[in-house]
Amino acid sequence: MSSQTASLLVEETNQVNEQSNDIVEVTGIEKVYPGGTVALQGVDLAFPRGKMTTLLGPSGCGKTTLLKIIAGLLDATAGEVRINGKVVSGPGPERAFVFQDFALLPWATVVKNVAFGLEMQGVEKTLREKKAREYIIKVGLAGFEDNYPHELSGGMRQRVGLARALAVNADVLLMDEPFSAVDEQTRRLFQEELLRLLGMENKTVIFVTHSIEEAVYVSDQIVLLSPRPGRINRIVVPGIDRVGKTSDEIRRETGFLDTVEDIWDTLKKYLDDERMI
């Protein structure tokens, strides 16, 4: 093959990637933990740009593992993660993680915490703190800029975590059960705010949750994983039309309730299977 055709080929693939609507693609992902636990097997998934995809499945099926592999925090035993068509093998500025336990620096104020990602990128202090303050206002924490994490409630702490992830302006947000440590009321409020923020910022979100209701309410696409070793069982597209409806109205619609029921049936089967053994 001449070098000319080779370069032509490269160009072609690049073009395909640019057109591709899937910002994150994982292919053939397998994860075996030291000790032999097979957490994931043959996972192929595509995450459409600007959409919210939820990973749902029984406890221990490998949701966190998959999310951390996409984040570049864990190495897969086999398979590839592609971001914008390029294979990645570590964390990158296109992705930002929101942690279940918030992972805030307890010795740093809210501003410093929110600015942390920018600081790691080498953004100069006045600039990064200015940006941090903007996002603190966006997540509704105005007035708490100089407080320390231990002075905030769980819900407020997660807002700090969210602001930190938004401040680095990553295209992809990875969230591991971000609302599991807050009460139901705050949780619902968060879901609304997340949807509002995503509408404004055009992010792609990969979201892990245990709540079927939450998944159906916020997601564009729900990936149902089977019990360990985690495999893709089904992909559900709730297709909820939110325009002009209140949260309560949506939650009472038959379409919403049917989808919740449908997913619950699948998950229940796993539980029953487990009991049979």
Ligand X SMILES: Nc1ncnc2c1ncn2[C@@H]1O[C@H](COP(=O)(O)OP(=O)(O)OP(=O)(O)O)[C@@H](O)[C@H]1O
Q: Are 24 and 204 in contact (CB under 8 A)?
A: yes
Closer residue to ligand X, CB minimum distance, 61 or 70 = 61
Q: Are 73 and 153 in contact (CB under 8 A)?
A: no
CB atoms inside a 10 Å sphere around CB 246? 10
Shortest distance, position 194 Cβ to Mg ion, whole Å: 19
Instruction: Establish if 64 lies at the interface with Mg ion (CB under 5 A).
Output: yes
Instruction: Establish if 58 lies at the interface with another protein (CB under 8 A).
Output: no
Selection from another protein, Mg ion, ligand X, none that 91 binds (CB < 5 to 8 A by kind) is: another protein
Closer residue to ligand X, CB minimum distance, 160 or 223 = 223
Selection from another protein, Mg ion, ligand X, none that 149 binds (CB < 5 to 8 A by kind) is: another protein
Sole binder of another protein in the list 32, 38, 46, 73 (CB under 8 A): 73
Shortest distance, position 208 Cβ to Mg ion, whole Å: 6
Instruction: Establish if 180 lies at the interface with Mg ion (CB under 5 A).
Output: no
Instruction: Establish if 61 lies at the interface with ligand X (CB under 6 A).
Output: yes
Instruction: Establish if 35 lies at the interface with another protein (CB under 8 A).
Output: no
Looking from the CA of 152 toward its CB, the CA atoms found within 13 Å total 27
Selection from ligand X, Mg ion, another protein, none that 101 binds (CB < 5 to 8 A by kind) is: another protein
Token representation of residue 21: 């609507």
Shortest distance, position 192 Cβ to another protein, whole Å: 26
- Span near ligand X by CB under 6 A; candidates 46-54, 57-65, 155-163, 233-241: 57-65
CA end-to-end span of the chain = 56
Shortest distance, position 153 Cβ to another protein, whole Å: 13
Instruction: Establish if 91 lies at the interface with another protein (CB under 8 A).
Output: yes
Instruction: Establish if 150 lies at the interface with another protein (CB under 8 A).
Output: yes
Binding residues among 63-122 for ligand X as defined by CB under 6 A? 63-65
Residues found near ligand X in the complex (CB under 6 A): 33, 35, 37, 39, 59-65, 228
Residues found near Mg ion in the complex (CB under 5 A): 64
